[in-house]
Structure 1
Amino acid sequence: MTTVKGFTYFVLLAEMRTGSNLLEANLNEFDGLTCLGEAFNPAFIGHQGCDELLGVTQKQREENPFPLLEGIRQHDGLAGFRFFHDHDPRILPTIMDDPCCAKIILTRNPLDSYVSLKIAQATQQWKLGDVKTKRSAQVAFDPVEFENHVAQLQAFQLRIQRMLQESGQTAFYIAYDDANDVQVLNGLARWLGIDAQIEKTSGKLKRQNPEPLEQKLSNYDAVRDGMARLDRFNLSRTPGFEPLRGGQIWAYRACRSLPLAYAPLGGGVRDGDILDWMAGIDGAARGDLLHDFSPESWQDWLRTNPGHLSFSVISHPLERAHYVYRNQVLHGARENVRRFLAHVYDVTLPEKGSPMDDYGVDEHCRAFKAFLRFVHANLNGQTSMMTRPAWALQSEQIADIASRGPIRHVLRDDMLRDSLPLLGAGLGRELPPFDPPQKYYRLTLESIYDAEIESLGRAAYGEDYLRLGYVDWAG
């Protein structure tokens, strides 16, 4: 169906806990309109529990998302889907550059969406159809977590805005508070080119947490601190023409007794040992290191610590990949990756928290090879998942760190015993030796390493091998 506006399909650009389920339900009340859920969510296809949509299975969509997109275009009436920042990145340029795709942008106060997300995670109730089944929880406000939440939302919104500007298009903006307003919804239908109008909204879904904010938070006073961390007018940014980059400034750690700062990379193999060493310099606990930096407080630290020395640590790409796989994926912290390995590579991993007795070296070898294939595909934009810092290129992360301030040293983790104490020469102070305790792991890279693993590692991390000077892993 092509509407009088020339639209053949639509996308609802939103985020979790912005009211997209409600807006979808209301759009489906219009004759000629069909919203097909989160068609390109990496965890499912359409709606939770579904593995097929319009005759396309989740595995088929993972291999190639464009047949499903074409099916949505050819659907009876005007069909569309919800799309969030972490949905399949392969289709975003196509739909954003297509004037026949109507763009609906749903927004919500980020504090409300953050609290709603925390409550949903605590109660595991993501939609409410009957108030009698409502689950309640009081949650804690985390200023650093909230800052990251806002940064993530803003980054996606700015990207969408830029793509619309470059392609000369506009979108229909609708706020959370208007997602249940009949007049606004009828106006949206007219903008889409649909003649149908409605007299009432769906009524299938209820607002989940209508209580005042102070009743939903166990530490309401912390909100003030969280707001203070946000540089609302971007005053801390030095004017320039370099492209804006993201980053994990909140993860930086600095000593209190001397101007030494550590900028960790995602998936850092020796992070815990390094932080313990830095805490030893201060004669305190790891948690007493300066942390939770915002862009503004990081700039303040740089200004107030002349002669500062910042360093980062890199690892052999294979060593790091194995560390991330074993410590995160295998033990259940990366559910979306686990699902990918199961759907695409037929790899079955032990349930989170279950005994690992039956998971042996052969299973570990096969699963790790599948993980390396996943990383290769993900870094090349061939999966429906976003690239996460835990497995992103270290060389790119180093460039990102350097864009925010001088980084004096990039150290290799297999040389830390010698190189960390030598940092003291640049600070005019003798630093303690680096001698972390040995850790025992049943499943090691050494126990499964072979030529195929090396080949897969180089295929995934060829840029890191080249830029960081690594050769074949030698144990």
Structure 2
Amino acid sequence: MASFDYFVVFAEMRTGSNFLEANINSFEGLSCLGEAFNPHFIGYPENEKIHGITQKQRDADPNLLIEKIKAADGLNGFRYFNNHDPRVLDICMSDRRCAKIILTRNPVESFVSWKIAAATGQWKLTNMNHAKTEQITFEPREFEAHLEALQSFQVKLLNTSQRLGQTAFYVAYEDLQDVDVMNGMAEYLGCYERIASLDKKLKKQNPMPMSQKVSSFSAMETSLARLDRFNLTRTPNFEPRRGPMIPTYIAAPKSALLYMPLKTGPDETICDWLGRLDDAGADDVLRDFSQGSIRKWMRTHPGHRSFTVLRHPLARARGLLSSYFANG
């Protein structure tokens, strides 16, 4: 584990950070120490110390705890939310030896989950028989303030990483149930152990539809309609959580090249070129991929490259109009 000295999980309340921490801790040599820089406690509620450092010592000098975390056996880290000690953010973001994991979730879902947890007092659930729930009232101004703070923090992480030439491992809430993603995260951290299954002790709270969680659901829909729905996931998550246009992808018969067409692109020309590249024809290119077959193709073509062809805007517009009128 020589790539990093320690790691930080950037997250927020109700994004699945407890579940992520539990799975990090299932890897030998990795240890996540909770919310080490929460202003109200150190690591976990009622915790007194982390590696011998008290909350009072930590507050006086956060570097004391960071150095202890770095010096501990294995690779250690902690969870950091946007309301934690801001001095720690500056220390971690400027340190190339600090691995960054960034966990995101749809802001509406995390906000509603947070309101329910605050109303019921239940922040973790290990036994579904003890589950508590309560309908909440959606307050538009409160949500907008929450969203502004969340996005500001996430964009700061992104821009700081860009300016310093660093990269982070991004995980969405939806990825947490994928054991392959967890194993990939471990590899990013320099741990080459692999787990076969996820830690299932923590249960998902409030799995019912959003309409059953919010008493003012129609008012919430009206309020959210004023906001840019695509920007709601700019936290940042890079792509909408919808399936890419995988069935349109085209691969060379043998070479490790994958073409991702855009509408009105020169598909016939590209197919002919891909075929001739492998001494074949346009009819021999590989098409009709699915999620499963595209992953299999990528595994069997190490070092593969994907590309697209973007035409001049006027040519593309002309092609789109021709296609529109041709289809009536």
**TM-score normalised by the chain length of structure 1:** 0.48
- Equivalent position of 2:247 in the other structure: none
- Equivalent position of 1:216 in the other structure: 213
- Equivalent position of 2:106 in the other structure: 109
For the Cα contact (< 8 Å) 1:142–1:226, is it kept in 2?
Answer: no
- Offset of 1:51 from its aligned partner? 2.4
SS for the counterpart of 1:79 is strand
- Offset of 1:44 from its aligned partner? 0.4
Match of 1:23 among 11, 15, 20: 20
Is residue 11 of structure 1 aligned with residue 8 of structure 2? yes
Match of 2:46 among 45, 49, 72: 49
Provide the C-alpha distance between the structure 1 equivalents of 2:226 and 2:11, rounded to a whole number of angstroms.
25
Is residue 183 of structure 1 aligned with residue 188 of structure 2? no
- Equivalent position of 2:235 in the other structure: none
For the Cα contact (< 8 Å) 1:106–1:174, is it kept in 2?
Answer: yes
- Equivalent position of 1:88 in the other structure: 85
Provide the C-alpha distance between the structure 2 equivalents of 1:233 and 1:47, rounded to a whole number of angstroms.
35
Q: Map Cα deviations across residues 362-394 of structure 1 (whole Å, 9 max, x no partner).
A: xxxxxxxxxxxxxxxxxxxxxxxxxxxxxxxxx
SS for the counterpart of 1:112 is helix
Provide the C-alpha distance between the structure 2 equivalents of 1:38 and 1:95, rounded to a whole number of angstroms.
14
- Equivalent position of 1:225 in the other structure: 222
For the Cα contact (< 8 Å) 1:110–1:150, is it kept in 2?
Answer: yes
Cα gap change, 1:233 to 1:128, in 2 (>3 Å): closer
Provide the C-alpha distance between the structure 2 equivalents of 1:207 and 1:75, rounded to a whole number of angstroms.
32
SS for the counterpart of 2:87 is coil
Q: Map Cα deviations across residues 74-112 of structure 1 (whole Å, 9 max, x no partner).
A: 111111000000001111111101111000000000000
- Equivalent position of 2:203 in the other structure: 206
RMSD: 1.3
- Equivalent position of 1:373 in the other structure: none
- Offset of 1:133 from its aligned partner? 1.0
Provide the C-alpha distance between the structure 2 equivalents of 1:181 and 1:231, rounded to a whole number of angstroms.
29
Q: Map Cα deviations across residues 237-269 of structure 1 (whole Å, 9 max, x no partner).
A: xxxxxxxxxxxxxxxxxxxxxxxxxxxxxxxxx
SS for the counterpart of 2:177 is coil
- Offset of 1:233 from its aligned partner? 7.7
Provide the C-alpha distance between the structure 1 equivalents of 2:182 and 2:26, rounded to a whole number of angstroms.
10
Provide the C-alpha distance between the structure 2 equivalents of 1:202 and 1:47, rounded to a whole number of angstroms.
19
For the Cα contact (< 8 Å) 1:129–1:206, is it kept in 2?
Answer: yes
Match of 1:123 among 97, 102, 120: 120
Q: Can you give the 5+ residue segments of structure 2 that lack an aligned partner in the other structure?
A: 232-328
Provide the C-alpha distance between the structure 2 equivalents of 1:167 and 1:129, rounded to a whole number of angstroms.
40
- Offset of 1:230 from its aligned partner? 2.3
**TM-score normalised by the chain length of structure 2:** 0.69
- Equivalent position of 1:305 in the other structure: none
Cα gap change, 1:132 to 1:180, in 2 (>3 Å): same
Provide the C-alpha distance between the structure 1 equivalents of 2:103 and 2:15, rounded to a whole number of angstroms.
7
Provide the C-alpha distance between the structure 2 equivalents of 1:40 and 1:195, rounded to a whole number of angstroms.
28
- Equivalent position of 1:137 in the other structure: 134
- Equivalent position of 1:379 in the other structure: none
**Displaced runs of 4+ in structure 1, greater than 3 A?**
231-234
Provide the C-alpha distance between the structure 2 equivalents of 1:51 and 1:87, rounded to a whole number of angstroms.
17
SS for the counterpart of 1:203 is coil
Alignment of 1:40-439 (within 5 A): 40-231=37-228
Amino acid at match of 1:128: L
For the Cα contact (< 8 Å) 1:146–1:226, is it kept in 2?
Answer: no
- Offset of 1:226 from its aligned partner? 2.1
Amino acid at match of 1:107: T
Provide the C-alpha distance between the structure 1 equivalents of 2:212 and 2:174, rounded to a whole number of angstroms.
20
- Offset of 1:180 from its aligned partner? 2.6
SS for the counterpart of 1:157 is helix
Q: Can you give the 5+ residue segments of structure 1 that lack an aligned partner in the other structure?
A: 235-475
- Offset of 1:144 from its aligned partner? 1.1
For the Cα contact (< 8 Å) 1:32–1:196, is it kept in 2?
Answer: no
